Structure 1
């Protein structure tokens, strides 16, 4: 395996224009830190940091663009071993567009010695390529390295896997969208509830007037002659039937609003289903003489149900069958044990 040894590599102190950064007088605290650092071998310190870093660290040659150092984190991130990567161009892990921009930055740095073109305040998010040629998102930063007594030759590249950050951003975006959708749905439900309440308040007086009209028609029919009596009685039944229909619609609207609001409740009680269903069938026969409604049920079939809800469901089902066949048909209602 080809291993390049970089003697005493340190972060560059070169500023714009190639001027050296002035050294200020050393404070006691700084001198203490310097004395501690001086006891450590620069090569050993750099090697330990380089090999133990959790970020992918790659050192490339400025002139050739070849990789000269490749740490274990880079192996895990990109899928290339050190033996496979060292000696190859750094563009090995870069898409074409990113590689072209990288070449321009390195060429400018090699030509002018200006390190600002490499340094950035924050890591830059960009795509990268793995050994399987899969494109991943990474955060990349660069820093020039210097060897005392030699011109700038090496650049340290730091890559950090940004896929977890991208997943977190997607998750946060998904949560924000879900919360917005939930808020919009709740607002729609509130508007629907308000509309249902207003509709109920507007239709209820109509129902009351229709009922009063049917009562007056019945009273008039009881005082008239035979023909007028039959006619008025028929009209009274028509009006009463329409009033019941409107009342059923209002009840259904109120139940829908209660279900949407989460306040709908069932009052369960043990009921004999045979007479309950029988009353619904008798009512259906009275409403439509053109339809033959048959009924069959065993004796003493009891169940724990909400009697009013069961009656409403059966009433709606039979009415649908009647409306579907307005000229008449057979409607069989069978109640069986489970």
Structure 2
């Protein structure tokens, strides 16, 4: 049932608009509007689409108004054709519009008290996306109404305003009309209570929609911001599905790998992975499916031209709204220049260490010779000074050895002489030797179990010396260091515990890196190049073991490493 309008009194409502959801509702209103006019002797003009005109005329004839429809009281014209008669460059021409419509009004209005017009012209313009022309045409209708007597019934389908972008346009259209008739979902409500409930519900929906729109705008702005960051990033950022298919590819990826986004998206990620490294991708995808995070690592990728590029790779999971992992985002940084700088640095360190080794050895030899001569002459003061010089030369010699070891490790040339030996005996000997160098700390062997391993005795002794001297160095307020040698499962485990300054958790993962020095101001008071723990870590890795640290700032640290226990030595002899 259409909204309760008195169609006989439309002359009092000069320009009204009907919104509709179905053609049936529109035709109910339209046939009553035009039918009532024909019955009371008004002239009627219908500017509509062909389906609407045909359906309307069929209804009018069914109501016994066939004679009026075929007479001069009724004029019907196709809306699209009528528009074409006054549209110029996408806008209605005022003079042409007035001429076209005025001639129609004159045709049906002669000798009649009133003219009724139904028009879908503006609806067609809106449907074509020309909202500005539709508003302009509504204004022309209003201007014409100031000089000519007629009532105008406009109609718009509600689906034409199904988005926030149409809000301003919808508001302007409503403002151009003296009366607005809502669509059938409201108009069909008969009682005032039903309509009040409907209005309240619409208010709630409108409030919810506004909140949703505001949230969506915030999300879109955040998405645009993140997209801008990704696109302007110096690093290549690539996202992929769990099947390894590339789904995004930023500008830096284009520069780094040589493929455009159009070429890369939709391809498998192995597009940029050398064949010998395809296993990396398989492992990464397997970890992603299991929810295991892949740690940052350095690797090699392949460009479009077939050349390789060294990259530092970070991988993060992509999750959907339910928290399910659907893919991964990869950030690749070109480290070719950094690796070249490191290579040159390693070459320089190696060369400098070799060049320093010979003169330092000579100086040490002459220092020892002079010391013996001063002792023979009973010049104890000079001999004491030379003894102190010899101690500093020992430190310098050890530093040179460490630098040479680092260079050899980087080149894969550090020699190992592996054999079966008793690790507990090595620990005892090392403790005795280091104890002789300190007057401030007692090195206490808390637990000692007989453990036999296979490895390089001298290199593992080097690890022990480093851990013990560090424990002394970084616990200046303490007076003891605790050592344990125990068998745990299939491992021989050595622990060195101090009660010194400790290491903050933020630094613990990095202290085994080459040349790494903790940036904590308190730690800067202690000298060192940051290579001792790196060498120790590499030696333990070479023995297929792992070195660990447990520490809390201000309470001390415990360093430990584990090696496989040797039970049957027959195969090693």
Q: What TM-score, normalized to structure 1? A: 0.45
Structure 1 or 2: larger strand share?
Answer: 2
**Higher gyration radius (CA):** 2
Q: What TM-score, normalized to structure 2? A: 0.29
Pick 1 or 2: higher relative contact order, CA cutoff 8 A, min separation 6.
Answer: 1
